[in-house]
Amino acid sequence: MNRKWKRRYIQLFITLILTFLISYWIADIIKNSVKAPRPCVGLAGCPSDYSFPSRHALIAFALTTAFMLETKNKVLSSLFAVTSIVIGALRVVTFVHTPTDVIAGAFIGIAIGFVVQRFYLFLRFYYSER
């Protein structure tokens, strides 16, 4: 593997790790601020934390957005997108979230993925010029 590709993989890895950590943190802040009960309250196996927004959907869509913007690989980007949609749908089907929770998580995740990737791109450009 030549040096250029190795550097691109490292940049992709850093972008995805930052996106995951920031998404998880923001989802946790929103969940604890809104405190919406889950639709499965009282059922066996229902998680004990709050419902809004869907952390799974938020992180999945944030990672998908960052990946799409970072790589431009249409095949893998499509696979990421389909996986994110399936994750969101399964959260609704299993009564762990309402559709609103998942849709809000998706929109917030897309915004976070976009902002994190663009900010990291700006930092890379800024420090490469020095």
Q: Which amino acid is at 60?
A: A
Q: What are the DSSP calls for 96-129, one per residue? A: SS-HHHHHHHHHHHHHHHHHHHHHHHHHHHHHH-
Instruction: Specify the higher pLDDT residue, 109 or 15.
Output: 109
Q: Which domain does 27 fall in, by range? A: 3-128
pLDDT digits (tens, 9 = 90+) for 110-122: 999 999 988 888 8
Provide the domain count of the chain.
1
Contacts of residue 35, defined as CB under 8 A and 6 or more positions apart, other chains included, come to 50
pLDDT at 44 over 80: no
CA atoms within 13 A on the CB side of 78: 2
pTM: 0.87
CA atoms within 13 A on the CB side of 129: 6
